[in-house]
Amino acid sequence: MRTITFDSSVKKQILGIFDKQVDAEGYIVEKNNPGQRVLTPDGDDIHLDEFTGIYKGSEIFVKSDIVSLVELSNRLE
């Protein structure tokens, strides 16, 4: 597994690489369909402040709360 860490100041640049952007309310959305918010594996919208990463293999967006990080750790085992 490879991990890339980045400073919060480049979050929008990282999202742009994956054809995502941030809407007026601060939620991550599809660049080509700004009305479509990106969802976590639990089906939650994800705010830019909560964004901590994207899991390789598919676009699984991960929040920065402990529950989301533990679930990611379990998936990586």
pTM across the whole model: 0.71
Between these two residues, 66 and 1, which has the higher pLDDT value?
66
Beta bridge partners of residue 62, listed in sequence order: 53
Q: Which residues, 6+ apart, have CB-to-CB distance to 18 below 8 Å?
A: 54, 59
Query: Looking at residue 5, what is its pLDDT?
Result: 66
Q: Write out pLDDT tens, residues 5-64.
A: 667 788 899 899 889 999 999 999 999 999 999 988 888 999 999 888 777 656 667 777
Domain ranges of the chain: 8-76
Query: Looking at residue 59, what is its pLDDT?
Result: 67
